[in-house]
Chain A
Amino acid sequence: DTGVSQDPRHKITKRGQNVTFRCDPISEHNRLYWYRQTLGQGPEFLTYFQNEAQLEKSRLLSDRFSAERPKGSFSTLEIQRTEQGDSAMYLCASSGDGANYGYTFGSGTRLTVV
């Protein structure tokens, strides 16, 4: 297992376009998380999946954002009608069960909206 994979690494899009990111977690991890990080700040929680169920969403996740995890494997994060304020690094992480199971993060997808 090569860890958490994210694709693409970089995405430049015009304002108003839709974009979709993919995350492949560590295969035995049933928990998957999406975070967003802007320059000079720590990551901010967006959403969390336990297997295929989306159990928690941040208020940061406006109705333009949607995340899925079909079959409890990979996950996608879609942003519709992108805005310049969406420019950020989008990080995916996975973990096993248990309150004290550490997180493994992917390398992130850097989104630039022009």
Chain B
Amino acid sequence: KQEVTQIPAALSVPEGENLVLNCSFTDSAIYNLQWFRQDPGKGLTSLLLIQSSQREQTSGRLNASLDKSSGRSTLYIAASQPGDSATYLCAADTGRRALTFGSGTRLQVQP
């Protein structure tokens, strides 16, 4: 059974800092690894999808990496802004059409 863990559970940083969010998964037989953003009381917004054959994906100030052999993915956010404050969720797709999510990292960027 796939299990996904995210560390840290919460993070507070001053504006402008670069930061790294960590995600680990127990079953390396994944189709892809996805990162989502969730604002309080809202649905999920897709940020990045890394296919199992890829090592990283970039979108603007976001960069996500994937190391299947070690069961790890990281989300790097450059030059953080107060608008980046949200919960960030990673999810592993093992091809059974059911994403397995971590519990998320709650990020607060202080102005």
Contacts and interface: CB of A to CB of B under 8 A. Distances in A.
Interface residues of B, number: 26
Nearest to B97: A48
Contacts of A44: 101
B60 interface: no
A91 B91 CA distance: 15
Given A42-B91, A58-B98, A100-B51, A105 B43 contact: yes
Given A42-B89, A42-B104, A100-B31, A106 B97 contact: no
Contacts of B31: 99-100
- Residue among B34, B43, B98, B99 with most chain A CB within 10 A: B43
Interface of A: 4, 6, 31, 33, 35, 40-45, 48, 55-56, 58, 91, 93, 99-100, 102-108, 110
Interface of B: 4, 31-32, 34, 36, 41-46, 49, 51, 89, 91, 93, 95-104
